[in-house]
Structure 1
Amino acid sequence: MVQSLVKLCAREVVSDHSSSPCWLSCVPRELYRALLDAAFTHCRPLAVGELVQRWPERTLTVGGSRKADECPPNRLCVQALLLAVVRGLTDKRCCLQILDLSGLQCENGRVEDSMGGWSLSVALCSMVLQARAAASRAHRRDGERERKRGLEAERNRGSIKRDRGKVVSGNSGQGSQGGHEAQEVEKMECKTNERMLPEDESVKGVRRRMEIQRRKTLSEGKSNTSSNNSSLCDQDWDEVVVVHVRTDLFVNSRSWERVRDALSQPGPLRLHCRYLRVEELSAPSIACLLGLLPQQNLLGVDIRYSSLGASGLAMLLPLLAPFPQLHSLRLHYCNLDLQRTQPGQQGALQDMSKGLSSLKKLKRLCLTALRLPGHLRLLLSSLSQPLEVLELPYLCLTSTDLAYLSCSQHAPFLRELDLSENWLDESSLPSLRRLLAQAQNSLCQLSLCGCGLSDTLLGALLPSLSCCRALRSLRLALNPLSRTGLLSLARTAAGMPSLRLLLYPNPLEEYEPGLPALPSSAQLLDWRLLEESEDRDLTRRLLEEVLNLRGRSRDLLVTSDLLNYSPDLTVDD
């Protein structure tokens, strides 16, 4: 890749931190973006901090969608960015008002020195609390200075009045002119204080009235000094948000309190969550977070490994209705098992259906391991708009569920469908073929991993798969296929021009002896493969021949590696 001259120069400029005072004072604002990108790319945290602290534009976007060969920002650079945002609040050269960090986190654990979603969320919340504490201290200092100036002005006014009284008394015997001036001063002061005092004030004498008013003011000031200062710090300045921070929040039981404090306590920085992901939280804690989030920016909610049950989900789903832009809901392993009959279960399921019906913009729904056999119609029929992404792994779907899905309003609009780990047999095959026929123009990703597809079942399904002209990703791992069935699958996949990824299962010939005739996905996952590589080499050579005959050896990735295949290949070029 040939780099532009601006990128090359920016790299050289940020490489030497000792020269930063020279170029920071004269660099035009149009080059700040290129310099910041170079500082992130080549890990120059000091340059990142100095650039962000005096950022000349209203908006700064860091993160977003990255290319497959693009490394995430270094942890030190991200920390320098957050510290610089706090320092920039008191820097008059900084014009930053909107900081967009959406997608900045790195979820690839193999990338060293990167910042994951959990640690980034904690760092962001610490930044918000740190900025608020600094602003609170500054406003307390300002309030204390104002109070001292007020007391000093009051003492000065008192000394001036005493001097004036001496002058008046000293001039009382110096002729009619001095007495006349003293009377005029007294009349003016009397009129002024009459406006300040209540109408029913019965105290006579100008000096006496002034003394009473002064004592009253001082006594009120002493009693209300602390409350006035706190009101200045907790009401006036808290209403002014200097920088709005857009981000994705990852929250678990250890970081929940800090995230709650950052969202609930006002200050110069305010968090706006785009995607909320929570793990191991109770339903009341999740409800608390939802109540603190700004409603206009939330796009998706992902709840994982939380023991919610049907009652907890029924409580949370209505709380998502006030978010107008919410289009994604993911529920993973939330301890909902409707295979076991429990008191009040049907009523909670009805409440869940009503809660889903209130999500008017919902496009993506993921229900993992909720175990809802026979209840799919009740949940999905309540949605007012068709779904585009539907993930139903480990749901124990029945043939009745698949029959409903194939005839539902969602079928013609599905772009991604995941039915992994739902056992498919001959009774469910007609519904699945009808579903693929309905979605053949829209379906881009299909996952049928661990569905018990044998050579016979897959052979009956291949004609329907070949008609999916938009399909880019097909995942069929952990299905009991022989090498013959695998080659039939490869020939069908090679004849689909749009397909870019085929995740195939290891054929049964590559496993050690002892497997049952129709093994489950768990057995295939745990059973050992043959140590000799001859069988695997033979499978690989046969697959390459199929791809070469169809001219698909370069643009179609065929792999059996469950852990290292690239999901980025499913994204449109």
Structure 2
Amino acid sequence: MSNVLPMMPLSLFSLCAKEVVSNHSSSPLWLRWVPRELYGPLLEASFDGCRPLAVRKLVQKWPERLLRVGGCKKRGQRPPCRICVQALLLAFVRGLFDQRCALRVLDLCGLQGDEGQTVDSIGGWSLTIALCTMVVQALTRERKRVWALKRDKGVKRERGERKRVKEASGNKSDQREGSAGVLGEVDLMKGVRRRMETEKRRESSGMEGDGKESCVPLQVRADIFVNARSWKRVYVALSGAGPLELQCRYLRVEELSASSIGTLLDFLPHRGLLGVDVRFSNLGVAGLAQLLPRLAAFPDLSSLCLRYCNLDLRREQEEALRDLSQGLAQLRGLRRLSLEALHLPGQICVLLSSLSQPLEVLEVPCLSLSAADLSYLSCSPHASSLQQLDLSQNRFDADWLPSMRRLLSQASGSLRHLSLSGCGLSDDLLGSLLPSLDRCSSLRGLALAYNPLSTAGLVKAVRAAARVPSMRQLLYPNPLEDYQPGLPELPSSSQLLNWPLNESTDLTCSLLNKVLKDCGRSDIVLTCDLLNYDKDSVE
């Protein structure tokens, strides 16, 4: 059968898999004959068809040690529904008490989005709560089982001692037998207590263990989402040494203090943590300076995102910036740095110059960048290594043009995505940058939303994008002609966001698609929808 599968069209194979898992009652019949290479396609079909009972059966019989659910998804593929994920977790945790189960590691990294991509899918917060609850329940159940075993052993020993004392008393007189029985019972209870205390000390020190009586250790790998409301539950799950271990690949926290974040980091394994994303947390410069040295303990850490964390150096002592610089210098593997809405004008040089390796991803939206910041960046070692650059919501003017041209020239061979949304680019400013954009041979995505461009300037931008062979996606702004009257000559991004549009936006879309067609490009996706724009979809 396995020799025929590669010859079968994928669509026909998917239809067959969906048909097989559609009948829950027949699963005991077909599951015993399924070869191991078909478990993956059948599980995928069970997720697509929302068949939780089939998911449970397949996971319980999973033939390999590792099961990976999540990660890279096919275009148009929906995430698993909530009930299927719950069935997956319940089936996996049954392996704690079943020596016959081959499955020992469940990898859920990348399974969820921020809040779930569909109504019935499970989001990052809900999945984290479910995983932590599962870990705590497994820990509680194991503790109860251990104490029950110890109680049963104590009862058996006590009965045995009583039996030996009774036999040793022989045929003595009733009085002597009674008095000896009383004394023997007292000595017996003291001996039992001493032995139980000794056994308890041995077990706590790891000197005694019975593999047949203990749970089979399992491991779950996932992206963990934590906020102030769920912090305690996550803390309990990470700090308990139970049979079910929770490992973290990406840690996202919101509304937590630096000390609370540091406490979570203390319980995470040093290997395997790839990224930390801190949002809406009032860290301050002092708090971040306290947190960065703890991140240095994770050698695999390659991504650090700080969003709305109140790092306003205009209100704090600027000498604290040296502490931040020294902390960033300890992150040897850092390749992505995102600093959003932190109000650090003129400080990019101090922060980025401390890094030991060039960055591949730099996101600095709403950072109040100055012309000096961009000048440093264009001459820094990072410029030639950047693959993604986000300068959104930093106001451009003519003084930025030389540095921006130099930056694009340095990054022309590596840059894959550039975001200039809300930068105040007029027709003249953008027209001055278009020749430099033409030379970015690897550019696949360009974001220009909420810039004050006319229809003529927008057409020039689309033609320039069409000249880049690697371009696949363009986020364009609505031209000024599409807005209702009353806008100033050069409106800000917030004005463009809130000003009402005319009903002629469809005409603009048709015009731009016609421009692309005239340029011989039908492989570029044009969109003006910033909320649904995904720069990673072109990768």
Could you state the TM-score of these two structures normalised by the residue count of structure 1? 0.85
Change (3 A) 1:164 1:367: farther
CA contact (8 A) 2:21 2:42 kept: yes
Partner of 2:512: 543
**Equivalent residue letter for 1:328:** S
Match of 1:219 in 2: 190
Equivalent AA in structure 2 for residue 306 of structure 1? S
CA deviations over 1:98-142 (Å, ceiling 9, x no partner) = 111111113465512100000000000011111111212221221
State the SS of the aligned residue for 1:490: helix
Q: RMSD over aligned Cα, in angstroms?
A: 2.6
Per the TM alignment, residue 296 of structure 1 is displaced from its structure 2 partner at its CA by 0.3
| Partner SS for 2:269 | coil
Q: Is the 8 A contact 2:97 2:216 kept in 1?
A: no
Instruction: Specify the SS of the correspondent of 1:262.
Output: helix
Q: Which structure would you say has the larger Rg?
A: 1
Q: Which residue of structure 2 aligns with residue 154 of structure 1? A: 161
Q: Does structure 1 conserve the Cα–Cα contact (< 8 Å) formed by 2:223 and 2:250?
A: yes
Letter in 2 for 1:302: D
What is the deviation of 1:44?
1.2
Instruction: For residue 538 of structure 1, report the CA deviation from its aligned partner.
Output: 4.4
Distance 1:540 1:563 in 2: 17
Q: In structure 2, what is the equivalent of residue 420 of structure 1?
A: 392
1:284 CA displacement:
1.2
1:121 pairs with 2:102: no
Q: CA deviation at 1:427?
A: 1.0
The more displaced of 257-266 and 9-18 is 9-18
Q: Give 2:367's aligned residue.
A: 395
Q: How does 1:166-565 map to 2 (within 5 A)?
A: 218-222=189-193, 225=196, 228-229=199-200, 232=203, 242-338=217-313, 340-342=314-316, 345-531=317-503, 533=504, 536-552=505-521, 554-565=522-533
Is the contact made by 1:393 and 1:418 (CA closer than 8 Å) also made in structure 2?
yes
User: How big is the shift at 1:74?
Assistant: 1.0
Q: Secondary structure at the match of 2:97?
A: coil
Instruction: Answer with 153-162 or 292-301: which moved more.
Output: 153-162
Question: What is the Cα deviation at residue 525 of structure 1?
Answer: 0.7
Pair 1:38 & 2:38 matched: no
The range that moved more, 363-372 or 38-47, is: 38-47
TM-fit CA distance, 1:311: 0.9
Counterpart residue identity of residue 422, structure 1: N
How many angstroms apart in 2 are the aligned matches of 1:154 and 1:28?
55
Q: For residues 136 and 283 of structure 1, do their structure 2 counterparts lie closer, same or farther at Cα, with a shift above 3 Å needed?
A: same
- The yes-or-no answer on 1:85 pairing with 2:60 is no
AA paired with 1:493? A
> Match of 1:181?
none
Query: Structure 2: which amino acid aligns with 1:50?
Result: K
Structural mapping, 1:137-148, within 5 Å = 137-148=144-155
Q: CA 1:213–1:426 in 2, change beyond 3 Å: closer, same or farther?
A: farther
CA contact (8 A) 1:241 1:267 kept: no
Deviations 1:430-450 (A, max 9, x none): 011100000000000000111
Q: Is the 8 A contact 2:67 2:103 kept in 1?
A: yes
Q: Is the 8 A contact 1:48 1:80 kept in 2?
A: yes
User: Alignment identity in percent?
Assistant: 56
- SS of the equivalent of 2:319 reads helix
Task: Name the CA shift for 1:54/1:541 in 2 (closer, same or farther; >3 Å).
Answer: closer
- Kindly indicate whether the alpha-carbon contact (under 8 Å) linking 1:72 and 1:104 is maintained by their aligned counterparts in 2: yes
Aligned to 1:57, the other structure's residue is in SS state: coil
- Count of aligned pairs: 521
Partner of 2:72: 65
Structure 2 unaligned runs (5+)? 1-7, 174-179
Q: Render the CA deviation track for 1:238-262: whole Å, top value 9, x for unaligned.
A: 9987111111001111111110000
Query: 2: distance between equivalents of 1:36 and 1:510?
Result: 48
- Asked if 2 retains the 8 angstrom alpha-carbon contact of 1:54 and 1:91, the reply is no
Q: How far has the Cα of 1:361 moved from its partner?
A: 0.2
Indicate conservation of the 8 Å contact 1:136/1:233, yes or no: no
Cα distance, 1:48–1:410 mapped onto 2, change above 3 Å: same
Look up the SS of the partner of 2:318 in the other structure.
Answer: helix
Structure 1 counterpart of 2:538: 570
The answer for unaligned runs of 5 or more in structure 1 is 167-207
TM-score normalised by length of structure 2: 0.91
Q: Displacement of 1:34 after TM fit?
A: 3.3
Call closer, same or farther: CA 1:109–1:131 in 2, change over 3 Å.
Answer: closer
3-state SS, counterpart of residue 35 of structure 1: helix
Determine helix, strand or coil for the equivalent of 2:67: strand
- Range with bigger deviation, 232-241 or 379-388: 232-241
Alpha-carbon distance in 2 for matches of 1:231, 1:250:
37
What SS class does the counterpart of residue 141 from structure 2 fall into? Answer: helix
Question: Are 2:97 and 2:215, in contact at CA under 8 Å, matched by a contact in 1?
Answer: no
Name the aligned partner's letter for residue 455 of structure 2.
Answer: R
Distance 2:270 2:110 in 1: 19
Q: 1:444-499, CA deviations, whole angstroms, 9 ceiling, x for partnerless residues?
A: 00001111111111111111111101000011111111112111111111111111
For 2:117 and 2:237, locate their aligned partners in 1 and report how far apart those are by CA, in whole Å: 30
Report the counterpart of residue 139 of structure 2 in structure 1.
132
Which stretch of structure 1 is more off in the superposition, 101-110 or 407-416?
A: 101-110
After superposition, the Cα gap between the structure-2 partners of 1:49 and 1:226, relative to the gap in structure 1 and judged at 3 Å, is: farther
Shift of residue 95, structure 1, vs aligned partner: 1.7
User: Is the contact between residue 96 and residue 216 of structure 2 (CA under 8 Å) also seen in structure 1?
Assistant: no
Deviation (angstroms), 1:217 = 6.6
Deviation readout 1:364-421 (Å, 9 max, x if unpaired): 0000001100111110000000000000000001111111101111000000000011
